[in-house]
């Protein structure tokens, strides 16, 4: 009976903890258990008497709010306030920027998968489709990337005029200001199509539609600033740039030494209150050709002309190029790309106060403005341009792998090449799913700060992997630059995306979990805000509510992690589909992640901020859960096509394996070894059984990308494949179709050669002899010749005279 009652108690405790019951429900549940125990139990009175005493001693203080706050919450609050890390104003503004979307559900430990599947992917309007199919394709047909990068070093005047005339610089500017008023998704699709044709052209289009003057004006500009600048930006009359990075302030942008002092000076014949500026910026895209410069600088008011504060803070202003003291025009050369990028300096530049974006009232609010815009903007341009390059690489590598032959067979028939192509396709499916999922959030009005950091890092890193794999498949074809090389320039430019808008090392090690733990956790941000309140009474009330809910949350995840580990998540309610197991495993790992996050914050305290190897791996787990969610959502929104299942299985298995590995790395390096041992038993009670996707799954994926299948069409949609002399993707598709048509004929010729019916020094001679002997028909011979000519054109590379290699 003792064992029975003990089991009953553990079940009651587990159910209450699993469902994160409130204190009152805990008291009610355990009280009812004790009543039954007292009435039906076969134990001595001292046992159940002691049980009731323990129950009352434990729950009465917890349920009596004044006592709990005074003797429990108050000391914990004091300890918390003394131990929490010092946070600068700029750090607080970065944390407050943006909104929390699905990543908050993941941090809860119990995501609602039906809610996930109900989130629609973004769609294009008819106007947006027409623009993509018409205007954007016209632009793509005009681009000669070799001429642009090697000979001209810039877009041609014709292309510059076309970009301005057709509204490429105002895709997101509302129609009321003369812009296109497109969705974030449409803007992303435009950038994908252009980027796949030319990194230089794609970057030129992306920057005015990303973080910069237009977006800052839309959110914070005064009515006068909007009315003046937005129509000019939309039509290309004004070309914008935004200057943030300084020689001594890269990832740590707040360390900028660019400064302005409030003073009075002459402007247009009048003495006005303004700012005397000095700056030295670099890496500024479009700066050499910009007509208006968005500038971030530190503003000081030593004479207190604006108020009591001397150090006002980071401020953003718009400065016309012709303003005296402004220096622009010189160019950087970002690897082999030729988009306009360069430094800008300003010496004793005087501007009126109303040139501050948002007017004088927004002085000192520049960092908040930048962080809020970056929270959303980072999810559009960089994911678009890198996904565009990845789509092109997968499209080209699949075709090239079947067109190119070595050892008398297509190179994709070799397992090493097949495995590489499958990895490329799997990475692209993950990238595109995450891009679409996050764009959906943006177009619903969210500004997902943490999600944008996740996809910035993981999409650009996967693009790097795809670029390397594409070069491996293409071999010498990918190395030799020239008009025939459709990979080289994109491959060379990959580090640009890795570096900008938060270098990837910084993003992984500090931003994803550093911001995610505070913004996405159900209670940490509430605790932090409560601890900062100056009113002690309000602080105690708010902290008491948050900290005890947090303790219940941690206890719940402790029980859930153990239970879900024992059952391998099989009892978790999940959408009834062929992918049910992935939803269940994701729920299991969400609970374990929430638990380990809480324990890491407890063990490391404020020092977790400096334990980048820990926060990086916690961020990896959150990221993989987000990527897995986007994959499951995309498959559902695509209509659950059966032919895409190999891709879904490959990517989902990869995510689960990576999550498992990051957990193991964290536990292996956990400072409290005894706690790490217990956690390993809780999370992996039967050991680690997730593995990388099997080779057979990769082979299934490969078969989908070496032929014109619906899966290939879906995943590489958005590329410019229209008939055009300068379009390598059209030429690859034509050659692929001819190759597929010729393959049965080539088998006939090889069989005849093996049996000695035809001879020749090379395959073309054998084909001619097969035709002469009637082994193949004239129609078959023509098909073979067309395929061979198309193959030779695709595998050809360029050569130059020494004079041709010298740029004009």
Query: Which residues partner with 243 through β-bridges?
Result: 295
The closest of 457, 464, 466 to 426, measured between CA atoms, is 466
What's the sign of the alpha-carbon dihedral 96, 99, 103, 107?
A: positive
- Token readout for 112 is 């609602």
Cβ of 141: how many Cβ atoms within 10 Å?
16
Instruction: Determine the Cα–Cα distance for residues 747 and 765; give it in Å rounded to an integer.
Output: 15
Cβ partners under 8 Å of residue 275, min gap 6: 260, 261, 262, 263, 299, 317, 350, 351, 353, 355, 356
Reply yes or no on whether 501 is catalytic.
Answer: yes
First to last CA, the chain: 94
Residue 164 buriedness (CB in 10 A; 0-12 / 13-18 / 19+):
middle
Catalytic residue among 501, 527, 658, 733: 501
Give φ, ψ of 293 to 5 degrees.
-110, 120
3-state SS assignment for residue 446: coil
Spatial separation of the C-alpha atoms in residues 318 and 326, rounded to whole Å: 12
Give yes or no for a contact between 313 and 366, defined as CB atoms under 8 angstroms apart: yes
Q: Three-state DSSP class for 301?
A: coil
778 by Cβ neighbours in 10 Å (0-12 / 13-18 / 19+) ranks as: exposed
At 652, give phi and psi (nearest 5°).
-65, -45
Q: Closest Cα partner for 338 from 152, 147, 151, 154?
A: 154
- Taking each helix axis from N to C end, the angle separating 184-197 and 199-206, rounded to the nearest 10 degrees, works out to 160
CA–CA gap between residue 194 and residue 144 (Å, rounded): 12
DSSP string, 117-141: HHSPPP---HHHHHHIIIIIHHHHH
- Can you tell me the distance from the alpha carbon of 120 to that of 118, in angstroms, rounded to the nearest whole number? 6
Q: Strand 405-406 and strand 240-243: pairing?
A: unpaired
- Residue 521 in tokens: 């956790």
DSSP string, 322-360: TSTTEE-------TT--S-EEEEEEEEEEEEGGGBTT-G
Decide if 137 contacts 720 (C-beta within 8 A): yes
Pull the structure tokens for residue 369.
Answer: 């403005």
311-320 vs 292-300, strand pairing mode = antiparallel
Q: Is 641 helix (H, G, I), strand (E, B) or coil?
A: coil
Strands 341-352 and 270-285: antiparallel
Residues in the chain: 808
Among residues 318, 423, 398, 418, which one has the least CA distance to residue 366? 318
Residue 724 CA to residue 138 CA, distance in Å, equals 10
- CA atoms of 431 and 630, how far apart (whole Å): 9
In DSSP notation, 670-711 reads -S-HHHHHHHHHHH-TT-----PPPHHHHHHHHHHTTTT-HH
CA–CA dist 153, 342 (Å, integer):
14
> By the 8 A CB rule, do 621 and 593 touch?
yes
**8 Å CB contact between 239 and 320:** no
Write out the catalytic residue numbers.
501
């Amino acid at each position: 009976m003792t064992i029975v009652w003990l089991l009953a108690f553990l079940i009651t405790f587990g159910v209450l903890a699993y469902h994160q019951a409130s204190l009152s429900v805990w008291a009610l549940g355990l009280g009812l258990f004790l009543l039954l125990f007292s009435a039906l139990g076969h134990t001595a009175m001292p046992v159940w008497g002691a049980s009731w005493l323990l129950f009352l001693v434990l729950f009465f203080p917890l349920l009596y709010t004044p006592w709990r706050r005074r003797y429990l919450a108050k000391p914990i609050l004091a300890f918390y306030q003394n131990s929490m890390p010092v946070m600068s104003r700029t750090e607080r503004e970065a944390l407050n920027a943006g909104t929390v979307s699905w990543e908050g559900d993941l941090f809860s430990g119990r995501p609602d998968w039906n809610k996930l599947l109900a989130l629609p992917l973004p769609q294009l309007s008819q106007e947006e489709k027409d623009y993509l199919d018409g205007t954007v394709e016209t632009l793509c047909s005009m681009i000669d990337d070799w001429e642009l990068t090697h000979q001209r070093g810039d877009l041609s005047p014709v292309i510059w005029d076309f970009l301005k005339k057709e509204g490429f610089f105002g895709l997101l500017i509302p129609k009321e200001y003369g812009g296109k008023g497109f969705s974030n998704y449409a803007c992303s699709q435009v950038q994908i199509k252009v980027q796949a044709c030319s990194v230089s052209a794609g970057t030129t289009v992306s920057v005015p539609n990303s973080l910069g003057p237009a977006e800052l004006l839309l959110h914070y500009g005064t009515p006068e600033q909007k009315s003046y600048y937005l129509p000019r930006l939309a039509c290309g009359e004004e070309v914008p740039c935004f200057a943030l990075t300084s020689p001594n302030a890269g990832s740590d942008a707040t360390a900028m030494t660019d400064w302005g002092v409030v003073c009075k000076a002459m402007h247009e014949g009048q003495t006005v209150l303004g700012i005397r500026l000095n700056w030295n910026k670099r890496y500024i895209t479009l700066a050499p050709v910009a007509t208006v410069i968005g500038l971030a600088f530190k503003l000081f008011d030593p004479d207190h002309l604006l108020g009591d504060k001397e150090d006002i803070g980071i401020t953003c202003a718009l400065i016309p190029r012709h303003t005296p003291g402004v220096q622009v025009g010189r160019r950087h050369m970002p690897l082999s790309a030729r988009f306009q990028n360069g430094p800008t300096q300003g010496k004793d530049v005087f501007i009126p106060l109303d040139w501050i974006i948002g007017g004088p009232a927004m002085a000192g609010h520049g960092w908040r403005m930048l962080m809020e815009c970056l929270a959303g903007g980072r999810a559009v341009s960089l994911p678009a341009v890198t996904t565009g390059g990845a789509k092109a690489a997968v499209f080209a590598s699949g075709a090239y792998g079947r067109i190119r032959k070595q050892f008398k067979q297509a190179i994709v028939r070799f397992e090493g090449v097949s495995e590489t192509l499958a990895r490329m396709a799997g990475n692209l499916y993950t990238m595109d799913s995450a891009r679409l999922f996050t764009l959906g959030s943006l177009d619903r009005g969210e500004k997902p700060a943490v999600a944008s950091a996740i996809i910035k890092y993981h999409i650009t890193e996967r693009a790097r992997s795809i670029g390397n794999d594409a070069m491996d498949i293409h071999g010498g074809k990918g190395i030799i630059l020239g008009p025939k090389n459709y990979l080289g320039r994109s491959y060379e430019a990959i580090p640009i995306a890795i570096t900008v808008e938060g270098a990837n090392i910084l993003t992984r090690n500090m931003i994803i979990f550093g911001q995610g733990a505070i913004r996405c956790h159900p209670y940490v941000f509430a605790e932090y805000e409560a601890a900062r309140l100056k009113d002690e009474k309000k602080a105690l009330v708010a902290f008491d509510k948050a900290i005890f809910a947090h303790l219940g949350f941690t206890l719940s995840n402790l029980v859930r992690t153990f239970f879900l580990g024992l059952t391998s998540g099989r009892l978790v309610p999940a959408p009834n589909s062929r992918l049910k197991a992935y939803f269940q495993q994701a729920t299991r790992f969400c609970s374990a992640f929430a638990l380990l996050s809480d324990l890491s914050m407890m063990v490391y305290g404020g020092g977790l901020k400096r334990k980048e190897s820990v926060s990086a791996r916690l961020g990896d787990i959150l990221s993989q859960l987000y990527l897995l969610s986007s994959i499951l959502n995309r498959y559902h929104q695509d209509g659950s096509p059966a032919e895409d299942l190999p891709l879904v299985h490959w990517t989902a298995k990869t995510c689960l394996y990576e999550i498992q590995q990051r957990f193991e790395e964290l536990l292996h390096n956990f400072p409290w070894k005894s706690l790490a041992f217990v956690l390993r038993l809780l999370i992996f009670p039967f050991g680690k059984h997730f593995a990388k996707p099997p080779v057979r799954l990769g082979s299934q994926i490969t078969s989908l990308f070496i032929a014109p299948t619906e899966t290939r069409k879906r995943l590489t949609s958005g590329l410019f494949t229209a008939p055009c002399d300068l379009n390598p993707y059209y030429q690859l598709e034509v050659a692929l179709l001819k190759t597929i048509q010729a393959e049965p004929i080539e088998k006939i010729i090889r069989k005849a050669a093996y049996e000695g019916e035809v001879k020749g020094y090379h395959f073309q001679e054998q084909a001619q002899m097969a035709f002469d002997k009637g082994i193949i028909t004239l129609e078959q011979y023509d098909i073979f010749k067309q395929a061979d000519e198309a193959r030779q054109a695709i595998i050809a590379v360029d050569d130059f005279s020494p004079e041709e290699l010298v740029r004009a």
